[in-house]
């Protein structure tokens, strides 16, 4: 953008989203908005009201332009009929001239108003020194209108006001249908911005509800949510039981049962009876806000295939302009009277709209389908890689298994509740699954943990209640080799408590491993846990390759070995210590229940927590690549067939407009075939939708 402090600008033309990373100290937001406005774009915030306004304005403006073009086309064709029949019916020259000027009058609003988006797009491309699909269209419209106007001024007889009006009408019809398909493809992702209500019922000290704006909520407030209402913030349930619908967030179609103290998520819908919750996170700190932010980042990413498609379309436009010039030269020699029609047909019929839409249409649809299944794709390039993986590497704890904690031994100086309180207070600085298991086992208030430090693969050190503590595996906590299978809490005097870790394999982990094996994809487990526990889990899941006591560096080295051996590696993890491994894989998947760092490094996040969603994601990825290839073959075949016919003068401009619009529409409709059967079922059962990039 040419402004200081702007580090990165990502624009997705299909979704009409822009993501700008900038330094507000060098360039304030107001300057960015002014620059966008000056470039011809109207910036809007990504919230529910702005989304509705943007859709309504886009639809209304395009529909008005389409109606003006349709009315102008019908009137221009009526006047053109008189011109075509005039010589045979001996209509006087003055009358013919009148009807030519009447055609000019009705065609002018069509060109100057209805066709304005094409001219604006071509002008922006010209300023950016880039050739896009609007360039040949705008050139064709301008040539037809200008040549016809010149004929009127000089008393000529060949005017094409009916043709230019018809051309604009058919082009706008195609764009309107594309817009409807695009809005449908973005329904789920945009729905994330609509889930949170704009107000909440806050309870005062006397338990009386008061309606307040969402921005007034702070952590610690108590909020009541009525039956059928949306939860306004993340919090902890204060009632004994509740049922909430989290389908739009996780893809899980059935309501979730919650108990007192369980976490409830903003955007979830209460079912059965009103509930009371204590706010823990509100505003931009909620899980829903983070999810919407990740979705926006995914929408503005431009995949490698999309970038390649844009370059191909730009080169194709240049070739179209060259072919048009060659066509003009040939017809100037053969039959100058047919030169204009042939050149205009080439410009319009060969417009690379289908080329430019082939990739974004397919990827936008696939992101929508996956979002319905509780899968958020952060880097769409990952879909292309996922379709070809041949090795999957899993973390164990928190990924394949769900841990729980039990106290098995205590020092005489400490009781069980205190041991759990100290351990939970120390592990509160970590997002490891074992830390969450300790938090779930502790019933007391957490104590401040000073100088806490997380050592990936080993444990945590810090000072709690004035005592320097170490929590982790035995050799780390005690400096020796004991406690191979247990989690130890120790101080400088020795072991204070021993926690036995019980693990339950996730319900769908076995099904996923079986499906991967059926596809010929090998699975492997790399874990920092004790070898005996890793071996037990691997045996139950039927995984032959596994390693225990792996540090993050060991995992990263193993990933490097697999990649050097020619494997395409998918890594699945959820902890902060998995972040380097997720970043080093060809493609990576993190669970939404995992750490923020793991999600930031992952290509795909499983919001539903279902491991089986990985198999569904790969199926959609392979279907997407197949549809994408079909779209590109169709666009290429259409242009190879249509361009010679247009150059030979066999295609009138109005028919060229129909052909170009139809080719673009075919690409969009074909993209909607991705997981169509599942999409239909999901729309009934899961109430959720949502891409591109």
Question: Which active-site residues does the annotation give?
Answer: 395
d(CA 413, CA 426) in angstroms, rounded, equals 18
For residue 655, the SS3 value is helix
Dihedral angle, C-alpha 377, 380, 386, 387, nearest 10 °: 120
d(CA 180, CA 494) in angstroms, rounded, equals 68
d(CA 363, CA 303) in angstroms, rounded, equals 9
φ/ψ of residue 459, rounded to 5 = 165, -155
Q: In which residue are the tokens 């047919």 written? A: 338
Q: For residue 525, what are the CA distances in angstroms to 386, 529, 563, 659? A: 18, 11, 16, 53
- Cα 390 to chain centroid distance, Å, stands at 25
List the structure tokens of 491: 């101080």
List the structure tokens of 516: 């991967």
d(CA 136, CA 118) in angstroms, rounded, equals 9
Asked if 527 contacts 555 with a C-beta cutoff of 8 angstroms, the reply is no
List the structure tokens of 41: 């774009």
d(CA 649, CA 647) in angstroms, rounded, equals 5
List the structure tokens of 689: 């939708």
Counting beta carbons within 10 angstroms of the beta carbon of residue 209, is it exposed (0 to 12), middle (13 to 18) or buried (19 or more)?
middle
Asked if 102 contacts 77 with a C-beta cutoff of 8 angstroms, the reply is no
Asked if 436 contacts 466 with a C-beta cutoff of 8 angstroms, the reply is no
φ/ψ of residue 577, rounded to 5 = -70, -10
- What DSSP letter does each residue of 349-366 carry, written as one string? HT-THHHHHHHHHHHHHH
Non-local (6+) Cβ contacts of 531 within 8 A are 548, 549
Asked if 454 contacts 460 with a C-beta cutoff of 8 angstroms, the reply is yes
Beta-strand pair 604-606/587-591 = parallel
Q: For residue 406, what are the CA distances in angstroms to 411, 430, 482, 630? A: 15, 19, 18, 56
Non-local (6+) Cβ contacts of 588 within 8 A are 382, 570, 571, 572, 573, 581, 582, 601, 602, 603, 604
d(CA 682, CA 611) in angstroms, rounded, equals 18
- Cα 396 to chain centroid distance, Å, stands at 28
d(CA 5, CA 555) in angstroms, rounded, equals 37
For residue 448, the SS3 value is coil
């Amino acid at each position: 953008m040419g402004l200081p402090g702007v580090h990165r600008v990502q624009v997705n033309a299909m979704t009409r989203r822009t993501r700008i990373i900038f330094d507000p100290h060098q360039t304030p937001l107001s300057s960015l908005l002014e620059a966008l406005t000056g470039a011809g774009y109207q910036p809007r915030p990504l919230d529910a009201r702005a989304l509705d306004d943007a859709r309504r304005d886009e639809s209304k403006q395009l529909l008005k332009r389409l109606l003006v073009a349709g009315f102008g086309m019908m009137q221009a064709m009526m006047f053109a009929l008189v011109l075509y029949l005039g010589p045979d019916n001996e209509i006087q020259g003055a009358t013919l001239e009148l009807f030519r000027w009447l055609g000019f009058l009705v065609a002018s609003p069509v060109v100057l108003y209805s066709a304005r988006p094409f001219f604006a797009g071509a002008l922006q491309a010209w300023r950016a020194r880039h050739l896009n699909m609007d360039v040949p269209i705008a050139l064709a419209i301008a040539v037809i209108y200008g040549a016809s106007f010149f004929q009127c001024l000089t008393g000529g007889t060949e005017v094409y006001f009916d043709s230019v009006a018809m051309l604009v009408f058919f082009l706008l019809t195609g764009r309107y249908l594309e817009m409807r398909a695009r809005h449908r493809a973005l329904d789920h992702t945009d729905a994330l911005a609509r889930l949170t209500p704009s107000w909440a019922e806050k309870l005062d000290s006397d338990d009386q509800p008061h309606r307040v704006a969402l921005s007034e909520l702070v952590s610690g407030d108590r909020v009541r949510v009525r039956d059928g209402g949306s939860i306004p913030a993340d919090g902890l349930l204060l009632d004994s039981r509740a049922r909430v619908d989290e389908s739009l967030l996780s893809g899980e179609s059935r309501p979730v049962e919650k108990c007192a103290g369980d976490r409830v998520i903003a955007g979830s819908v209460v079912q059965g009876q009103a509930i009371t919750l204590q706010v823990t996170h509100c505003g931009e700190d909620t899980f829903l806000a983070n999810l919407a932010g990740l979705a926006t980042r995914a929408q503005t990413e431009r995949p490698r295939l999309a970038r390649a498609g844009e370059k191909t379309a730009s080169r194709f436009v240049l070739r179209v302009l060259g072919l048009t010039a060659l066509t003009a030269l040939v017809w100037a020699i053969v039959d100058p009277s047919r030169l204009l029609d042939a050149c205009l047909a080439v410009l319009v019929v060969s417009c690379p709209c289908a080329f430019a839409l082939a990739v974004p249409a397919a990827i936008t649809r696939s992101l929508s389908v996956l979002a319905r299944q509780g899968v958020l794709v952060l880097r769409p390039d990952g879909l292309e890689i996922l379709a070809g993986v041949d090795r999957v590497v899993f973390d164990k704890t928190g990924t394949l298994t769900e841990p729980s904690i039990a106290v098995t031994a205590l020092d005489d100086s400490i009781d069980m509740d205190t041991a759990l309180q100290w351990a939970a207070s120390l592990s509160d600085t970590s997002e490891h699954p074992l830390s969450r298991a300790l938090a779930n086992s502790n019933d007391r208030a957490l104590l401040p943990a000073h100088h806490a430090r997380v050592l990936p693969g080993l444990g945590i050190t810090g000072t709690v209640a004035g005592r320097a503590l170490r929590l982790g595996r035995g050799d780390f906590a005690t400096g020796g080799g004991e406690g191979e299978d247990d989690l130890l809490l120790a101080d400088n005097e020795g072991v204070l408590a021993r926690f036995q870790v019980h693990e339950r394999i996730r319900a769908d982990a076995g099904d996923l491993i079986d499906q991967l094996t059926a596809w010929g994809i090998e699975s492997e487990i790399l874990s920092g846990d004790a070898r005996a526990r890793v071996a037990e889990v691997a045996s139950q899941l039927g995984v032959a390759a596994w390693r225990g006591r792996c540090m993050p560096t060991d995992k990263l080295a193993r990933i490097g070995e697999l990649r050097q051996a020619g494997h395409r590696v998918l890594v699945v993890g959820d902890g902060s210590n998995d972040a380097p491994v997720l970043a080093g894989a060809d493609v990576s998947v993190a669970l939404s229940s995992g750490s923020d760092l793991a999600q930031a490094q992952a290509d795909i996040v499983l919001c539903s927590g279902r491991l089986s969603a990985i198999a569904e994601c790969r199926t959609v990825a392979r279907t997407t690549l197949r549809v994408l290839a079909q779209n590109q073959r169709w666009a290429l075949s259409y242009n190879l067939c249509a361009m010679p016919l247009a150059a030979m003068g066999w295609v009138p401009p109005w028919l060229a407009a129909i052909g170009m619009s139809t080719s673009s529409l075919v690409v969009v409709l074909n993209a909607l075939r991705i997981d169509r059967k599942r999409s239909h079922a999901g729309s009934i059962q899961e109430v959720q939708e949502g891409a591109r990039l």
